Structure 1
Amino acid sequence: MITVDTPHGPAQVHLDEPGGAPRGLLVLGHGAGGGVEAPDLLGARSAARDAGLAVARVLQPYRAAGRKAPAPAPQLDAAWAAVVEHLTTAVPGVPQVHGGRSSGARVACRGAGALGPVAVLALAFPLLAPVRRDGTRADRGPEIDAVTVPVLAVSGERDRFGIPEPTPTREVVVLAGDHSLKARGPVAAAVGPWLETVLARETV
C-alpha cells in the first residue's frame, strides 16, 4: 500500500502492478461509505490485471482516517487529482483509465476533463441523489454527460439511484442486482472487452 499526501490528508493507494511493463493504468475510487474491497471494484481490478494493466484502488483521505461521512465534493476532487499526479509519476508513460463505483465514479467523471484519462469506467453511477425532505432529488446526470472520452457505465438493473442511458461515447451494461453491484464475475466480464477496445484505440 502507498500513502499519498493530498491537500486534505493522506490517501491510501492499493497498487497492483503486472509482471512486465504495464499496458495502461486503471485508477479506481470507492463509494461514499465503502472501501476499495467492494465486489465491483475487485471485478474491475481482475479484468484490468488480466489485460496487463496496473491497477490503483484509491482510498480517499476521509476513509483512510476512519470516517464514514463523505468529504465535500471539492475535497474529494482535489485529493483524487493529487493521487493521479502521484501515480502518473509512479507508473509513467501509459494510458490511464479513471473510474470507480458510485461516489468514486462521480469523482472520476468530474476530473476527466482536467486529468486526461483516455476513458472512464463508471460503476453504479448514481444518476439521482437520495430524496430530499421536500421529495425532490438532485440530478447528477450532467457529471457523466460532461465526459468527452469513452465511458463504460455498469449498473444493477434494480439500482434505486438510476441507470445512465447509452450515448455515442457511452456504453451501458445492465447486470442483475442493485446499487451494490455484488456480481464480481459479471462486472469483470463486462469490463474486460471494453478495456481491450480502449487500449487498442490508444495503440493505433
Structure 2
Amino acid sequence: MPERALSIPLSDGNAVSGVIHAPAVRAKRSGVAVVLGHGAGGDMHAPLLVDVARGLKDRGHTVLRFNFPYKELGRKAPDRREKLEAAYEAAIARLRKEKPDRLVIGGKSMGGRIASLLAARAVPCDGLVFLGYPLHPAGKRDALRDEHLSAIKAPMLFLQGTRDPLCDLELLRPVLKRLGRRARLHVVEGGDHSLEVLKSAGRTRESVLDEIVAGIEGWLVKRVAGMKA
C-alpha cells in the first residue's frame, strides 16, 4: 500500500501513531527515506506535512510522519525536550527498518528543531529538511535557537517564508553564512510559518506546494550523497 498506518513503540512502553508513504512497487525508488515531525500546535495530519510527504513519495522517496506523545494523548502542551527527542529517535528506528540507503530527518517548526537537536548530538542522518525553522519565539528576535546548528555535520535545507514571525530572514542569513556549504536556504515569497501565502499574492496553494516539493527534491539530488540526478 502506498500509505500505511503503523504504531511506533517507545522506550517507556507506550507508542505513537505514524504513517509511511512508500512509492509503488513498480515505481522508481530513490533509496532515500525522510522522517517528518510535526509542529507544536499541530500533529502528523497537518496539511503541509501530508502534502509534502505525498509529493516526495511521488518522486520515489519513502516518508514517515508521526505524532509526538502529547498529541497522541490529545494534549496541547508539548512534552519536555527529552521526551520529544526520544519519540523522534523511535521514529527514526522504525523507518530504518525499511532499509533505506540514505536517511533524512526534519519536519515542520518544532519537529525540525527536535531533529536538529538529535543531529547536533551525532544521531546519524544524511541530511535535514526544515519546513519553517523556528529561529526565535514570536516577538523575541534576540532569543535565537541557533547555537547547536554548528555541531551538525550533515547538509541542511531551510525552507522559510518571508512572513514568518518565528524566523526573521535577516537574522537567519548570518547563521547560514556561518554554517557554510552545509546549509541552503529556499525562500517561499509571501509564506508564513506554515509556508502558506495570502490570496492577494495571486498564487494557488498547489503552486506553492509544487515549489516546496521541487525545492526539496532538487536539494536531495544535489546534496544528499548517493543520489543520481
TM above 0.5:
yes
SS of the residue corresponding to residue 173 of structure 1 reads strand
Q: 1:94 to 1:88 in 2, by over 3 A?
A: same
Determine which of 153, 160, 163 is the counterpart of 2:158: 153
Is the Cα contact below 8 Å between 1:129 and 1:137 reproduced in 2?
no
Alignment partner of 1:171 is 2:184: yes
Alignment partner of 1:196 is 2:213: no
- Unpaired runs of 5+ residues, structure 2, are 197-207
Is the Cα contact below 8 Å between 1:106 and 1:143 reproduced in 2?
no
User: Could you tell me which residue of structure 1 aligns to residue 89 of structure 2?
Assistant: 81
User: Could you tell me which residue of structure 1 aligns to residue 147 of structure 2?
Assistant: 142
Q: Which moved more, 1:180-189 or 1:97-106?
A: 180-189
SS of the residue corresponding to residue 181 of structure 2 reads coil
- The aligned amino acid for 2:31 is R
In 2, Cα distance between the equivalents of 1:203 and 1:155? 24
Q: Which moved more, 1:78-87 or 1:95-104?
A: 78-87
- Unpaired runs of 5+ residues, structure 1, are none
In 1, Cα distance between the equivalents of 2:187 and 2:49? 16
Alignment partner of 1:52 is 2:60: yes
Deviation at 1:25, TM superposition (A): 0.7
SS of the residue corresponding to residue 122 of structure 2 reads helix
Root-mean-square deviation (CA, aligned residues, Å) is 2.1
Greater relative contact order, per chain length (Cα 8 Å cut-off, separation 6+): 1
In 1, Cα distance between the equivalents of 2:160 and 2:129? 11
User: Could you tell me which residue of structure 2 aligns to residue 92 of structure 1?
Assistant: 99
* Residues 138-193 of structure 1 deviation map (CA, whole Å, 9 limit, x = unaligned): 32112333321111000110111114323321000111211121342321121121
Identity of aligned residues (%): 29
* TM-score, scaled to structure 1: 0.87
Deviating 4+ runs (over 4 angstroms): none
Q: 1:56 to 1:37 in 2, by over 3 A?
A: same
In 1, Cα distance between the equivalents of 2:88 and 2:106? 11
* TM-score, scaled to structure 2: 0.78
